A and B are shown apart, each in its own frame.
Chain A
Amino acid sequence: MSLQLVFDALSLGGIYAIAALGIALIFGVMKLVNFAHGQFIACAVFALILPTADAVAVLGLGALPAVLLIPAIIGFGAGLAVLAEALVFRPLRHASPVALMVGSFALGVALQNLLLVLYGGRPKAISLWPDLGQPVQIGAAQVPLLQLIVIGAVALILGALALMLKRSRLGLEMRAAAEDFGMARLLGVRANRVISGAFALSGALAAVVALVLVAQTGVADVRMGGQIMLVAFIATVVGGMGSLPGAVAAGMALGAASALLQAFLPDAARPFRDAFLYALVILVLLFRPQGIFASASAKPRV
């Protein structure tokens, strides 16, 4: 029972961590809270099926074998995010952060309605890799194979991303831009390259979340992504706006706390699980208003 719970907590936390990372990456380089991130996830899910308003979904990209499907969907997510940056956020680059945020909301609403027009309002079923549901016996716990894959993939992605940020030129530029964008530009960092790079990574992460969600739930719905976006945003706030390790840690913590509350809250209180979860968030923010891992740029420079 307890080992099972560890896997439940890790897999949910992993999904939230990846989603939070997608938001923190963009916030780091351009101080934009991208509220359209949830719709990026939804679009990547719907990219698996052909656009039709019929009740039964027909697999499009989703029919490809996994070796092609995974890069295709990740590429789709990255492309969508880069396109959104070029068409929506680049013209707004010098606008106030509030205008940027409103712009991201507008983009989210536009994407959601685009999906409604193309696919209709009814949820669709997608049978993606049903074999991943097979339970695997680990000690006393029976864990669905997918949970293990999620946990493994999250670890892999985090490792690769950390390596990229530490070792590659783009990673160095992104870290520099997160620290002080003006100074980085003066030292020869090209703003468009860094920002496009951050959007591409963020979109790719949204696509990873989309694949995990579909494999887990088997459905596509235009409203999906919204709840994950909310949790991910809260995770970036709790983790410290702009801090990548903070976003990952807080995403993980929120997922774990959610799984634990579900397991241990008494019957009558369980429907209010999220209220307890967010009460914990408030408690953390009361003691650390700047978040757990506040980045240097978050402090006012006076």
Chain B
Amino acid sequence: MKHALTALALIALALPARAEDLTIGFAIAKSGWMEAYDTPAATAAKIRIEEINAAGGLLGRQIKVVESDTRTDRAEAAKAGLDVLDQGAEMMVVSCDYDFGAPAALVAEGEGMNSFFLCAEDVKAGIQGVGPNSFSSSVLAPVQGATMAEWAHAKREARTAFVLEDTFIEYNKGICTGFNWMFPQLEGAEIVGNDTFKNDDASIASQITRIKSLPAEPDVIMLCSVMPGAAAAVRQIRAAGINSLILNGSAVDGSYWLDATPDLSGFVLPVQGSIHGDDPRPEVEAFNKAYEAKTGARPASQYAYPGYVLIDLWAKAVERAGTVEGAAVTAELEKMRDEPTAFGPRSFSNELHHQNTALMQIVEITGGKPARVDEWRISQPVPLDVLMGK
């Protein structure tokens, strides 16, 4: 026993490896309204980092995390990027949203370093809007819209659709772009009307009047919106007696908003993995448990998952490149074709550092209870010119 302790002490002394630690900088919102979105994904990223460290580290080095707060402010985000750089970051993880993450990601790009958005789903959060070493591991918004279109057509015989777009953020536009691209291509399917609203509109009565004045209730309403506007819109649509199947993007995942429309039924969304304990892949539920063990609660939405995936993918690329140097890791990441992860296969190319197709779980809310009902992968990737809004 004594010898064992001495040996342990010796090992501890022999590990002054601080200088050799590999540092990842998190320039994310730790305060302000973005915090609620950044923290779960960052926590998930740290879970993967701990797993890697426990398994011996990356390239034989332990991963160390340094952080700086963007305060949900674009100007502060650039400062946070510089701050984690000063603390020795060799790779940077930035805020979920393109607008709030890009200032820090540009700092990383300036150093030739890799940057990953925690969960951005706008094509700009990558090569197109930051530079060649920037990535996001989440699934592009247009893929979510296209998934909804094809699934509803195949599984729910949706032939007529009304598109209701919230003009608040780019993400919403992306969802509608994907839906508008996919749905009219499908056999016998037609978009019979569309309208827009603003997320903080006090009422969408005029938009609802437009839906109700259609000759027949549409089979589906594609709602491209995020909280809180999405919950408000759903409440008002159902209150007006419209019973069409409502589709949305992943952003409304989680059951925290369901009280807004008691006993809601016929609401469908695509997710990367189910938080409800019914995902057919055991890895997903294992992650949910690990997250609960770390934070005391299960993930509130699927937006924790991309944080886990990004560290997973980046670490694999680093192992293959044998270095953390930005360009070399980028080259390895761009070789990934359907690289398996706990949340489905991921691909990158030298044109796109995002997912233009993905296996998505379909979650349906029935009687106020969300449950995974199906999975779907779109039959063709969303083309780049559609993604770019051309």
Contact = CB atoms under 8 A, between A and B. Distances in A.
Nearest to B226: A123
B236 interface: yes
B261 A274 contact: no
B206 A263 contact: yes
B32 A125 contact: no
B206 A125 contact: no
Contact of B203 (A15, A120, A224): A15
Specify the main secondary structure of chain A where it touches its partner: helix
A217 B235 contact: yes
Interface in B245-279: 254-262
Contact of B232 (A15, A127, A217, A262): A217
B260 A219 contact: yes
Contact of A123 (B210, B228, B239): B228
B323 interface: no
A5 B203 CA distance: 13
Contacts of A263: 206, 209-210
Interface stretch (B33-41, B84-92, B103-111): B33-41
Interface residues of A, number: 53
Given A123-B228, A217-B260, A219-B231, A135 B205 contact: no
Interface string A217-237: 111111110111000000000
Interface string A247-286: 0000000000001001100010011011000000000000
A98 interface: no
Contacts of A175: none
A298 B301 CA distance: 53
Interface in A97-155: 116, 120-127, 130, 132-135, 142, 144, 146-147
A133 B233 CA distance: 12
A130 B209 CA distance: 20
B202 A218 contact: no
B227 interface: yes
Interface stretch (A6-14, A21-29, A75-83, A185-193): A6-14
A164 interface: no
A133 B261 CA distance: 10
Given A8-B209, A127-B259, A267-B194, A219 B203 contact: no
Contacts of B207: 262
Contacts of A226: 200
A63 B245 CA distance: 31
Contacts of B72: 121
A144 B206 contact: no
A214 to B, nearest CB: 9
A130 B238 CA distance: 11
Contacts of A297: none
A34 to B, nearest CB: 19
Contact of A121 (B32, B165, B232): B32
Contacts of A212: 202
B231 A7 contact: no
A56 interface: yes
B196 interface: yes
A68 interface: no
Contacts, number: 143
Interface residues of B, number: 47
B256 A125 contact: yes
Nearest to B234: A218
Interface string B194-222: 11111011110111011011000000000
Nearest to A260: B206
B351 to A, nearest CB: 29
Contacts of B34: 121
B241 interface: yes
B206 A262 contact: yes
A168 interface: no
A57 B259 contact: yes
Given A8-B205, A223-B200, A274-B198, A123 B212 contact: no
Residue with the greatest number of chain B CB neighbours at <10 A, chosen from A1, A122, A144, A223: A122
Contact of B167 (A57, A227, A271): A271
B65 interface: no
B336 interface: no
A263 B202 CA distance: 16
Interface in B334-355: none
B240 interface: yes
Given A121-B33, A262-B206, A271-B167, A55 B254 contact: yes
Contacts of B258: 125
A56 B212 contact: no
Residue with the greatest number of chain B CB neighbours at <10 A, chosen from A7, A8, A132: A8
Contacts of B235: 130, 133, 216-218
B202 A125 contact: no
A1 B211 CA distance: 11
22 contacts: A4-B209, A7-B205, A11-B203, A55-B300, A116-B31, A116-B33, A121-B33, A124-B256, A125-B257, A126-B259, A127-B261, A133-B240, A144-B205, A144-B239, A216-B203, A217-B202, A218-B232, A218-B260, A224-B228, A227-B200, A270-B196, A271-B196
Interface of B: 31-37, 72, 165, 167, 194-198, 200-203, 205-207, 209-210, 212-213, 227-228, 231-232, 235-236, 238-241, 254-262, 297, 300
Given A133-B236, A270-B196, 17 more contacts: A1-B209, A5-B206, A15-B202, A56-B259, A121-B36, A123-B228, A124-B257, A217-B228, A217-B231, A217-B235, A218-B261, A219-B228, A223-B33, A226-B200, A228-B202, A262-B195, A262-B197
